[in-house]
Amino acid sequence: MFNLISKNFFLNFSIIIFIFILDRISKIYVIKLSEENNVNELFSSKYLDINLIWNEGIAFGLFSFSEKYAYNLLTLLIGLVIIVIFYMISKNDGLRKYSLIMIIGGALGNLYDRIFFKAVPDFIDFHIGNFHWFIFNVSDIFISTGVILMILIEIIFDKNKNYE
């Protein structure tokens, strides 16, 4: 049993680290390209632009704050949510656990940026014509995928529950 716990812990931790490193590499690469070329718009095509922006808010730039105290409070709140998600990971298994692992891997990537850069670099800009989706990064992809999986799990596996 100890080997099983160690193996699962190692696998879970490895996935979190992989997501974090993939996010870091992508952000470092885009930031470096932006600095070298002295531009924020790095790539443009019919449906995808790579355009570096610094997001001081939460998901997709929502709730951006210019006040230092509000920003620090928001960062602290995100840290507390990460602790709760770690607890939830320990209490779940299967697809629920891996959905939470994706969320935590992405959240740690963005929390790192909030702490060390005071903003999160976002750069993936999907668009159709003049309609642009929110600009996001690799961490946001994992967070969103994890949340969507959690929602689907609740819908699919809890459909047999009686909600009287």
pLDDT in the model for residue 117: 93
Catalytic residue among 23, 113, 122, 125: 122
For 63, residues 6+ apart whose C-beta sits below 8 A from its C-beta are: 57, 74
pLDDT at position 129 is 87
pLDDT score at 78: 87
110-123 pLDDT tens trace: 999 999 998 999 99
Q: Give residue 38's pLDDT.
A: 94
- What separation in angstroms does the CA of 100 have from each of 16, 69, 106, 113? 10, 29, 10, 20
The string of pLDDT tens digits covering residues 31-42 is 999 999 999 999
Say what the pLDDT of residue 142 is.
Answer: 98
**Is residue 140 annotated as a catalytic residue, yes or no?**
yes
* Rounded Cα distance, 132 and 48, in Å: 9
pTM: 0.83
| Catalytic-labelled residue, pool 23, 113, 125, 140 | 140
Cβ contact 22:102 at 8 Å: no
pLDDT at 58: 58
Q: Which positions of the chain have pLDDT values less than 70?
A: 1-7, 58-67, 158-164
pLDDT for residue 132: 87
